[in-house]
Amino acid sequence: MPKIFNFLNRLGRKGKIALSLVFGTVMALVMFYIFLPAINPCSAGFWIYLTAVLFFYLLPFLNPSFSPVVILGPKKAGDKPAKKQNAKLTFNKWVTLPLLVPIAVLILGFLISSEFFFARRYASVITVKEAEFSEDMPKTDMAAITNIALMDSDSAAILGTRTLGSLSHVVSQYTLNGYYTQINYHNTPKKVSNLEYDGFFKWLGNRKSGVPGFVMVDPVKSESQYEEFKTPIRYVESAYFGEDLQRKLRMSYPTKIFHSITFEVDEEGNPFYVVSCAKPRVFLFGAMDIAEVILFDPASGESKIMPVKDAPAWIDVVYTGDLATEKYNWKGAYAGGFLNSVIGNVGCTVATDDFGYLVRDDDVWYFTGVTSAVADDKSNIGFILSNARTGEYKFYPVVGAEEHSAMAAAEGEVQEKGYTASFPSLVNISGQATYICVLKDDAGLVKLYALVNVENYSIVATGATQTDAMSAYTKLLKQSNIDIGDMGAESATFTVTDVRIVPVSGVATVYITADDGKVYKGYLEADEALILVQKGDTLTVSFSRGEVENVLTILSWSFGE
C-alpha cells in the first residue's frame, strides 16, 4: 500500500489528470454495468453512484501521505517491552470537498421530500371515491361463487413446483421464478410464473435454446399446468451479462427508475414483462408513484414505453399491492397534516397489513380493510379497492371484523383439524359483505372453503367446495332472519329413490337420489332435519348447480308438493 501512495505522490499534474480520467472512467463504467443505477437525479441510487464515481476520479488528487509503522525498542536492558506506533494515512481535505456535494443532496433531498414538509401533497397523490357496497360491488350468486381466486402465492408455489417436477427434461435445467403474478386470462383468474435458469452453468448450456415456458395456476380449481412459449425467451432475471433482464432494460432505458417488473401473458399466451417506471410526486425523492409503463418482449428484446393511461387493457399489474396500500396510507394519515398524524390523529385511517385480489370488469383489483389509526385493530371501518392497472381507488364504508379476525373465526370452525386460513377475498352476497377464504392443511393443500359475514363474524360456514360453503352460509343467513332472495336458485319436485349420508372432509353430507336420476346434496351440520328424509318421500327443493353435472346443492326443501 505505501508503494501505491508513493507512486501517486511522484506523479505530476498531467499524470494525475490522465490517471484520473482513465481510472475514474473505467470504474464508472464497471460500477454502472454491475449495479445498474438509474441516471436520474430523482433516484437516490444515482447520488450514491455519483459519490463513488467522484471518489475514483479524485483519488489521484488526494495527495495521500503515509506514516509507516515504527517499532520503539528498549533503551537498555531491563526497560519495558517495545511499543508499536500505528501507521497514519492522511488525505488532502480540500480535494474531498466535492464528495460532500452528492452526499448533501442525498440527505437534504430526503429531508425536504419528507412528509414533515409536504404531508398534504402526499395525501393528495390519490383520489378515493366512496361507493355503496351493496350497489357497487357485483353480487355473487351460486354460479359466480365458483369463479373466485382464493389461492395464495404459497399454495400456488406448491402446485407449480409439483407440475414442474413431473417434467424431467425441464426440471433438470430450469427452476420456477417463485413470484406468481395474478392476472385475468380470458376473463378467468390465473397465476403465472416463468421458468428461470438453474444457475450460471445451466444458463451457459441452455442460453442458445432459451427459456421454454411457464407455469399457469388456476387458483379457483387448485390446478396448474405447464405452458410452452411459441418462441423461447432470452431475457430473464437468472440470465447473465447482456441477457440479464435488468441489464437489458437499463441499457435501453438508462434514465428510468424501475419500480417493479412483473411477468404476464397476453390473451394469446405471448409472454411480456410489464415494467413500471416511477417518478416523485413531492420534490426530489418523495411520494414515488408510477408514471410510465415499459412493455418488454423477452423473446425478441423489443420494448416500448407509454404513459400509464395508454397501457393495453390485457395488462393486469402496473401498480403493486404494496404500493397501492402505501399510497392509501399517505392519504389516510396525512389528509389532516403532519402534526395531526402524530398528535391528534383526528380522522386518520390506515389499511390493514395485507391485501387480497378481486377480479372484476376484466381487471385485477387489490382489496384490503381500513381501520382507524387510533382504535384497536380488530375491526374495520370499511374497505378499499384499488385497480392494479389504472390505480383507481374505491372506498366502501362497511363496519365489521378485520381480515385476521375473520381468518381466526374460520379456523375456529374446524379447530380440531388444525387448518390454517389464507388471507380472504371479499364478495357481495345479497348485499351482505362477506369474506371468503380457503382453509389449508400443514402441507399447504386446500381442504375447505369458508365464508364469514363481515358485520357479524359469528356467522361462519365451511364446505368442501365454494358451492357447498355458499349453501351452508345462505342457510345461516336465513336463520339469522337476513333476506337473501333466491340467489339465482332453481326448484324441482321429485320422489326420493335413495338416501345416503357420507362424510366428506369431515362434514356429514346427505346425498338424496331423485326418481329422474339427479342427486341432491345437503349438510346435516347446517340442516339437521335432513335426517328425516326417507326413500319414497316427495320433496320440493330449491337448489343450485355445481361443478359436477346432475349433482345439485340443496338451498331449501320441504316435504310434499
User: Which pLDDT score, from 0 to 100, does residue 485 have?
Assistant: 65
Q: Which amino acid is at 467?
A: T
* Longest Cα separation, the chain: 122
Grid cell at residue 321: 399491492
The pLDDT, as a whole number, for residue 150 is: 79
Distance spanning both ends of the chain, measured CA to CA: 100
The pLDDT value given to residue 486? 59
Dist. CA 65–CA 86, nearest whole Å: 14
- φ and ψ at residue 144, rounded to 5 degrees: -75, -20
**Integer angstrom CA distances of residue 470 from 35, 461, 545:** 52, 8, 12
- Give the span between the Cα atoms of 493 and 176, in whole angstroms: 52
Shortest CA distance to 430 belongs to which of 509, 485, 501?
A: 485
Report the DSSP pairing between strands 425-429 and 420-421: unpaired
pLDDT tens for the chain, 561 residues: list them: 556 656 666 667 788 788 889 999 999 999 999 999 999 999 999 999 999 999 999 888 776 555 555 555 555 555 555 555 555 556 667 777 889 999 999 999 999 999 999 999 999 999 999 999 988 988 887 666 767 777 778 888 888 888 988 888 888 899 999 899 999 998 888 999 999 999 999 999 999 999 999 999 988 878 899 999 999 999 999 999 999 999 999 999 999 999 999 999 999 999 999 999 999 999 999 999 999 999 999 999 999 999 999 999 999 999 999 999 999 999 999 999 999 999 888 889 999 888 988 888 889 999 999 998 876 556 899 999 999 999 999 999 999 989 999 999 999 988 888 899 988 989 998 888 999 998 998 888 888 899 999 999 889 998 887 878 887 888 888 888 887 665 667 788 999 999 999 887 667 889 999 999 899 988 787 678 899 999 999 999 888 776 667 788 887 788 876
Cell of residue 244, nine digits: 440479464
CB 388 within 8 A of CB 361: no
pTM of the model: 0.84
Distance CA 445, CA 443 (A): 6
What pLDDT is stored for residue 94 in this prediction?
A: 77
Q: How many CA atoms lie within 13 A of 176 on its CB side?
A: 26
3-class SS of residue 459: coil
Query: Quick check: helix, strand or coil at residue 250?
Result: helix
Task: Kindly compute the dihedral angle of the four CA atoms of residues 521, 527, 533, 537, in this order, to the nearest 10 degrees.
Answer: -80
pLDDT of residue 70: 53
